[in-house]
A and B are shown apart, each in its own frame.
Chain A
Amino acid sequence: MKIRTLMTASAFALIAAAPLSAKTFVYCSEGSPEGFDPAPYTSGTTFDAAAHTVYNRLTEFKPGTTEVEPSLAESWDVSEDGKEYTFHLRKGVKFHSNDQFTPTRDFNADDVIFSYTRQADTESPWHQYIPGITYEYYSSMSMDKLIEKIEKIDDYTVKITLTSPEAPFIANTAMPFLSIASKEYADQLDAAGTREGLNNTPIGTGPFQFVAYQKDAVIRYKKNADYWGEAPKIDDLVFAITPDARSACKSSARVNVT
């Protein structure tokens, strides 16, 4: 897809570590994200800031490879005709919490249905919750044509029926635009009339929890202490937004934004 290609082309990044008592990891990122909801956006910058930190997906790419491995889906079965994908979801996965939100339940099938269908369903209040957004990746990967229906079989089983057999579909489920958000958080935002919270103060299940964002300057995250996978080894993660990487990050060993 062109946009992704274009944006990654301009991604020059430096990674720096500032030794402090709590382990803080500083990453010199190339720009501000479009938002913190990965679904409506297409830039690598947004995916790094939101999808790979805050969120998980049904499947993910095994680090360093293009192979797909289980994530929020522990396993999946494919029907004989290649059209029905039944995902068996991981149990005991906790969503993050923030000042406004404390989850009362674990991740389940409702979160998957919410995260997928809001992109397809133009009637959903979550389709245009920010004026002007489109789900460009969803359509450019032909998900709108490919997915016939999504069904909740039970709390931990979701069945996706395709219009035709398409093995590469499974790789799409590992892509940032299919990150899994919290339906419970969305409902709370809806009730409070603050839907944009989904894009500004994200809640996910990922290895890092969003803390704060200052546009064109810095994004702060902390380690998700309840992470279902292997817990991060660093305590705090900082994205130092430095569009002019050449000057700001060259001596990255001395970068210290805390």
Chain B
Amino acid sequence: MPYPSPADLETIRNNPDLKMDEQSGLNVGYLAYNTTIAPFDNPQVRKALNMAIDKTALIDGVYQGSAEVAKNPIPPTMWSYNDAVQDDEYNPEEAKKMLEEAGVTDLNMQIWAMPVQRPYMPNARRAAEMMQSDFAKVGVNAEIVSYEWGEYLAKSMEPGREGAVILGWTGDNGDPDNFLSVLLSCASATEGGANRAFWCNEEFSDLLAKAKASSDVAERTKLYEEAQVIFKDQAPWATLAHSTQYVPMSKNVTGFVQSPLGDYTFATVDITE
């Protein structure tokens, strides 16, 4: 069974013998625009669309509240997370104005909805429908498309792909490079890569290359923080959510520390009477 269902969470929360530890998982769910195709090659258009998405509603409707709104491409439990970054404000009025200023009227686009559940995206169809209705409010007509999972992954990486793709990532080794280079570098914007925004920003990629070549964690942290600022400014994705990991346990358990990597370790646990 995938994560505990909302109904189970409620039961566990109401059980006086149990308590629940919750933490944002090492994952991100996103909507990736094809930044090589007009009008999505214009950062202002991408930003406007991001401002049209009601992410708080999305967290409730798609994740049943078991997630937090994402503003960066890496989750808050990962080192170098830049909490100073301001998320795009939800403001359909302003979004509409920005689209008009960019000369975008009567835009038709596709939203790709994954056919499977993942921790970072439990219901892509529902997410696509919600964004479709958000986009309609700013005059953008979105059509939802989907493919079988293998095909979805392959086709969404074809150059010239239409529209915006819902996808996500769960980290392997807790290193920021494992998100940023894999998903957003110039090198991964080609066949065999995983950069589904086909976003190649040299300033951003240079920062990643510098960070990869340095073993000084403080220096790397600074470089990744800077990279997150560029990412937010250029908006290759709408960052949607980081889903929550739940660990229910007896009330008398102490010292359990949840791992952002999803590991269970018991070296520090104790039981109190």
**A interface residues, Cβ below 8 angstroms from B:** 1, 4-5, 8-17, 19, 23, 25, 27, 29, 44, 47-48, 51-53, 61, 63-68, 78, 82, 141, 165-168, 170-172, 174-176, 206-208, 229-230, 232-234, 237, 244-246, 250-253
Contact = CB atoms under 8 A, between A and B. Distances in A.
Given A168-B178, A234-B269, A253 B250 contact: yes
10 contacts: A4-B172, A13-B247, A13-B264, A16-B253, A64-B257, A168-B212, A174-B174, A246-B1, A250-B15, A251-B17
A175 B119 contact: no
The 9 closest A-B pairs by CB, nearest first: A66-B174, A253-B17, A15-B249, A207-B267, A233-B270, A168-B175, A78-B215, A171-B175, A171-B173
A234 to B, nearest CB: 6
A166 B212 contact: yes
B170 A5 contact: yes
Contacts of B147: none
Contact of B77 (A25, A65, A141, A206): A65
Given A10-B1, A48-B263, A65-B260, 11 more contacts: A5-B118, A5-B170, A16-B249, A47-B263, A52-B264, A67-B217, A167-B215, A168-B173, A234-B271, A237-B266, A253-B251
Nearest to A26: B250
A167 B212 contact: yes
Nearest to A4: B172
B4 A64 contact: no
Contact of B172 (A1, A11, A170): A1
B78 interface: yes
B226 to A, nearest CB: 16
Contacts of B253: 15-17, 25
A66 B224 CA distance: 15
Interface in B189-218: 211-215, 217
B215 to A, nearest CB: 4
B70 interface: no
A9 B118 contact: yes
Counting chain A CB atoms within 10 Å of each CB, which of B11, B213, B262 scores highest? B262
B170 A4 contact: yes
Given A66-B79, A170-B215, A252-B18, A208 B266 contact: yes
Contacts of A15: 247-250, 253, 256, 269
A232 B174 contact: no
B118 A14 contact: no
A206 to B, nearest CB: 8
B177 interface: yes
Contact of A167 (B8, B78, B119, B177): B177
Nearest to A207: B267
A66 B26 contact: yes
Given A8-B170, A233-B255, A246 B8 contact: yes
Interface residues of B, number: 57
A54 to B, nearest CB: 11
Contacts of A8: 119, 170, 262
A232 B214 CA distance: 36
B259 A63 contact: yes
Contacts of B3: 9, 12
B151 interface: no
B56 interface: no
Nearest to A24: B271
A72 to B, nearest CB: 14
Contacts of B78: 66
A19 B271 contact: yes
A9 B2 contact: yes
A53 B119 CA distance: 25
B99 to A, nearest CB: 35
A63 B264 CA distance: 10
A66 B261 contact: yes
B207 to A, nearest CB: 13
Contacts of B15: 250-251, 253
A58 to B, nearest CB: 13
Counting chain A CB atoms within 10 Å of each CB, which of B3, B78, B215 scores highest? B215
Contacts of A10: 1-2
A25 B266 contact: yes
Contacts of B213: 82, 165, 167
B263 A16 contact: no
B175 A66 contact: yes
Contacts of A23: 270-271
Contacts of A65: 77, 79, 174, 260
A232 B265 CA distance: 11
Contacts of B11: 250
